[in-house]
């Protein structure tokens, strides 16, 4: 029953995390970048009002924790270090490392950058008249950084999802 529960949690929350990253990386952030400083209120709504980064973090924690549990069960049940030399073990380990990297990058880089961008957007919205050019430059740099990290995280999680699908094929051999 534990294994089945871990699989459900892993697939469900991993899907939410990966799809969320894909939509943010390829649709939301590029649209916000095109909107320039005027898109600040949109990011404020997504990040500050609706707390999307908190949901993404929760989904990622549940996906990574359940995945670690599944990996440990397979590692112990299928031969330990010898299993890592089997295609299934190697693919699952590579996918796990990719997911961990995406999680750490999201937590330490993407989430704080999105929060900074939302805060800068709020400051720009409060600037009556012409905003400070230094503030606009900081917003542009923050937007560029967020766009880059969001796309790389999305690609990384798509790669992890592909490896997870491949694992199902390799488990047959």
At 27-46, the pLDDT tens digits run 998 998 888 767 777 877 88
The stretch 88-97 carries a mean pLDDT of: 94
What residue spans define the domains of the chain?
A: 2-170
| Residue (of 74, 51, 76, 67) closest to 18 by Cα position | 67
Q: In the prediction, which pLDDT does 37 show?
A: 67
Q: Rounded to 5 degrees, what are φ and ψ at 44?
A: -60, -40
Give the largest Cα separation in the chain, rounded.
67
The Cβ-side half-sphere exposure at 34, using a 13 Å CA radius, reads: 6
b/e map 104-140, b = 16+ CB within 10 Å: eebeebbbebbebbbbbbeebeeeeeebeeeebebbe
Residue 94 token pair: 């590579």
Would you place residue 115 in the very low, low, confident or very high pLDDT band (cuts 50, 70, 90)? Answer: confident
How many helices and strands in the chain, by DSSP H and E?
A: 8, 0
Higher local confidence (pLDDT), 7 or 47: 7
């Amino acid at each position: 029953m534990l294994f089945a529960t871990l699989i459900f949690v892993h697939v469900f929350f991993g899907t939410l995390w990966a799809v969320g990253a894909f939509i943010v990386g390829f649709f939301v952030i590029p649209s916000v970048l095109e909107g320039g400083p005027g898109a600040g209120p949109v990011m404020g709504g997504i990040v500050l009002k609706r707390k999307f980064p908190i949901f993404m973090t929760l989904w990622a924690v549940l996906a990574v924790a359940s995945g670690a549990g599944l990996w440990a069960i397979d590692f112990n049940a299928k031969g330990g270090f010898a299993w890592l030399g089997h295609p299934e073990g190697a693919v699952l380990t590579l996918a796990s490392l990719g997911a961990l990297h995406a999680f750490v990058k999201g937590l330490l880089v993407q989430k704080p950058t999105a929060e900074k961008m939302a805060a800068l957007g709020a400051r720009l919205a409060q600037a009556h008249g012409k905003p400070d050019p230094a503030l606009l430059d900081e917003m542009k740099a923050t937007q560029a950084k967020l766009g880059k990290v969001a796309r790389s995280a999305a690609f990384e999680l798509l790669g992890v999802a592909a490896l997870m699908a491949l694992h199902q094929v390799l488990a047959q051999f």
